[in-house]
A and B are shown apart, each in its own frame.
Chain A
Amino acid sequence: MPSTTPVHVPVDILRFNTCGSVDDGKSTLIGRLLYDSKSLMEDQIEALERSADITGGGQINLANLTDGLRAEREQGITIDVAYRYFATPRRKFIIADTPGHVQYTRNMVTGASNANLSIILVDARLGVIEQSRRHTAIAALLRIPHLVVAVNKMDLVGWSQERFLEIRAQFEEFLPRLDIKDVKFIPMSALNGDNVVDPSPHTPWYVGPTLLGHLETVHIASDWNLNGFRLPVQWVNRPNNPTDQSLHDFRGFSGQIAGGIVKTGQKVIAFPAGIVTTVKQIWTYDGAVPEAFCPQSVTLVLEHDIDISRGSMLVGLDHLPGSHSDLQAEVCWMHPRALQAGKKYYLKHTTHTVQVAVTEIINKLNLATLESEAGATELAMNDIGEIRLRAAKPLVFDGYATNRLTGSFILIEQGTNATVAAGMLSSPREIVKPENGDYVI
């Protein structure tokens, strides 16, 4: 359905997050992006001026734009993920501003999990520090497709190309150990606006794009998995309408397609029943459609009456998933109460929540060396490690590397209901075998 608005037609959305340590200038960078791309409004600038009079000695502080909570302005820090929106004629942008303090790494995972691109800020004076490594490792772990290393505060090192190349070399020392394909290094000064939106006169030796130029043009086509149809069932759509005959027997399975493409007439397997059936209709509010794809939200009507409910998964016959109760995963721990082997949690995977026990902590990632170290007895807040889990019922899943949506989960503490971990599943040891007789209806 093409938009016909002549004035304002962004074609797609780029989601990115910014990370760095305290005082690397993240909020200033975002403020600068908004300010220089003319995305700030007069009343926002006015509000900045009002707060500048109080806290900034008259100087406008671009960081005040994103540091929205009172506690943040008082302490001059960012305590949670803040979302910002702006658009240029080429693209629409969603920014997750994620803080750099060690204790808020969980917020970085929150902000970055849906990102197409991560910006890692580095203070040119300090170069690569442990936080830079940590953030890069998390971006790699989450498989964020694109990375930008923003070497900020270049004005404070005299716009030295040598220093810029030195920092780049520091990154290139550890990047090969992380599976990141696309990295861009940009020298800048967020405070003064050099190479953020407008090219800097101070870096004649740098021939690449400005930050905004890169954000507008980086290739983000299909970050979604279009191989292997997956529909986690969210809600069973049963109108039970006694007056409308056509709706009386309507039984649809609603959900967001988490992978692949589905067509009317196609065969699908319904898990956990493991029964093959055919897609009779792809129902949407705007009418039935012949096919649908990830990440569209649809309602499927099936040929056979099978026991399907929330938490079931409809799957195409190619690129089959795994189905196991014994799972292996990398987790980022997000709660002050550490993960301990043997403890039970709820695990939410797609639309399915199941009890699990942590059976083993395999290793813990040392963020200073980026080596996985065996022998950990617990994972504390902000630790990343590999664990084994046993679920009360089998999960139908893919490896996170294959499909972000069917390969990810969260752990929820029983009792407090706190979200305590983000998990990324390892690829299944074996895939389900449809040739078994019990998959045929």
Chain B
Amino acid sequence: MNSYHLDHLQHLETEAIHIMREVAGEFERPALLFSGGKDSICLLRLAEKAFRPSDLPTPLLNVDTGHHFPELNEFRDRRAKELGGKLIVRKVEDAIAKGIAVPAPGEISRNRLQIPTLLAAVDEFRFDCCIGGARRDEEKARAKERFFSFRDSFGQWDPKNQRPEIWNLYNGRLNPGENMRVFPISNWTEMDVWEYIKREKLEVPSIYFSHKRQCVRRGGQWLPVNALVPPKPNEEVRELIVRVRTIGDIISTGCVESPATTVDDIIAEIAAARVTERGSRADDKASEAAMEDRKKAGYF
């Protein structure tokens, strides 16, 4: 190898920085979706790499379902403050109170209700572009999505009618009311994310590392015991040493038994893993086309 060689992480990094800067160059009012999860942590570092020494040209936006792990929100707020970023949080609860999001009878999950909440925030701040940390290796519908994912004035994704993306030329032109979702780390895998976290020495929320937790066996998974969906009398409850591999809502995120206490441990664990990270998310298992349906409706 000569000295003018980039390794795989450097390749993925420069691709993502290029996309970040295209957003800054082509959009009037972009926002960066930041949840505090591992993918958006990488996204934030890439934004720093793209825009420093200037301030970040986008506010950080998070849709709080009200079912977040408290550790995640604490981390989100702290990290945003450290970066001097402007954090905007919009809550599903408020959207329900305003009638923007309407739960179906008996609907406990906030998964679907995030969609109208996000779209209302996009309207409120007139965002023309939302940068997200979705990756194509997560799920089959995501595998078909472009870096610049066009949404019509209803926020909908039309998988059959996507703009072709050729070379590194992204078409960011919009008519009023239309919107773009941009995914700079589309080409990253779960392993790439953790290797990048290691290389960049990024801090992540504590729940990614193994800890002691009360878990309840439900739907073939260990879910964290929580007040929202308390264990039923016939359900098995155990105290386990677990960590989360992917963070969704507290009522649907499976915990995996793991002794991993460092980023190196996690990398070793993923290298040996026999299930994908989304294998622990009940929301995707609902049907073969679960993610496709949510994305068409405006999910990020």
Q: Which residues of chain A have a CB within 8 Å of any CB of chain B?
A: 1, 3, 5, 7-8, 10-13, 41-44, 47, 50-51, 65-66, 68-71, 73, 79-85, 87, 92, 94, 106-107, 109-110, 113-114, 221-222, 226, 234-235, 237-241, 247, 250, 252, 254-256, 261, 283-286, 293, 295-297, 310, 334, 346, 348-349, 351, 404-405, 408-410, 412, 417-419, 422
Contacts and interface: CB of A to CB of B under 8 A. Distances in A.
A52 B249 CA distance: 30
Nearest to B174: A417
14 contacts: A1-B10, A13-B8, A13-B11, A41-B276, A43-B279, A69-B159, A84-B143, A87-B191, A234-B22, A239-B55, A240-B54, A254-B51, A310-B25, A409-B169
Interface residues of B, number: 69
A284 B195 contact: no
A239 B54 contact: yes
Contacts of A80: 144, 159-160, 162
Nearest to A409: B169
Contacts of A408: 166-167, 169
Contact of A70 (B5, B139, B162, B288): B288
Contacts of A409: 169
Q: Most chain-B Cβ atoms within 10 A of its Cβ — which of A1, A250, A285, A349?
A: A285
Contacts of A254: 21, 50-51
B203 interface: no
B21 A71 contact: no
B212 interface: no
Contacts of A68: 139-141, 143-144, 292
Given A42-B274, A107-B164, A256-B14, A238 B54 contact: yes
Contacts of B7: 3, 11-12
B165 interface: yes
A297 B189 contact: no
A66 B24 CA distance: 33
B239 interface: no
A52 B261 CA distance: 39
Contacts of B53: 237, 239, 241, 247, 250, 252, 283
Nearest to B139: A68
B255 to A, nearest CB: 16
B107 to A, nearest CB: 23
B160 A71 contact: yes
B267 A346 contact: no
Given A68-B143, A256-B168, A8 B195 contact: yes
Contacts of A13: 8, 11-12
A410 B275 contact: no
Given A51-B288, A73-B288, A237 B144 contact: no
Contacts of B141: 68-69
Contact of A422 (B140, B164, B191, B292): B164
Contacts of A1: 10, 199
Nearest to A54: B288
A109 B166 contact: yes
Given A10-B8, A234-B22, A412-B173, A110 B49 contact: no
A50 B50 CA distance: 43
A3 B164 contact: no
Nearest to B140: A68
B4 A261 contact: yes
A346 B9 contact: no
B264 interface: yes
Given A42-B274, A51-B288, A110-B165, A5 B264 contact: yes
Contact of B167 (A50, A79, A113): A113
Given A12-B7, A114-B167, 5 more contacts: A5-B195, A94-B187, A334-B164, A346-B173, A417-B171
A4 B204 CA distance: 20
A65 B276 CA distance: 13
A295 B15 CA distance: 8
A326 B223 CA distance: 64
B227 to A, nearest CB: 29
Q: Which 5 A-B pairs have the closest CB atoms?
A: A68-B140, A43-B279, A297-B17, A417-B173, A234-B21
Contacts of A247: 53
B271 A3 contact: no
A60 to B, nearest CB: 14
Contacts of A51: 288
B273 interface: yes
A405 B14 CA distance: 14
A7 B263 CA distance: 12
B139 to A, nearest CB: 8
Contact of B166 (A11, A66, A110): A110
B18 interface: yes
Interface in B128-145: 136-137, 139-141, 143-144
B171 A285 contact: no
A416 to B, nearest CB: 8
A52 to B, nearest CB: 11
Contacts of A42: 274-275, 279
A437 B118 CA distance: 56
Contacts of A310: 25
B6 interface: yes
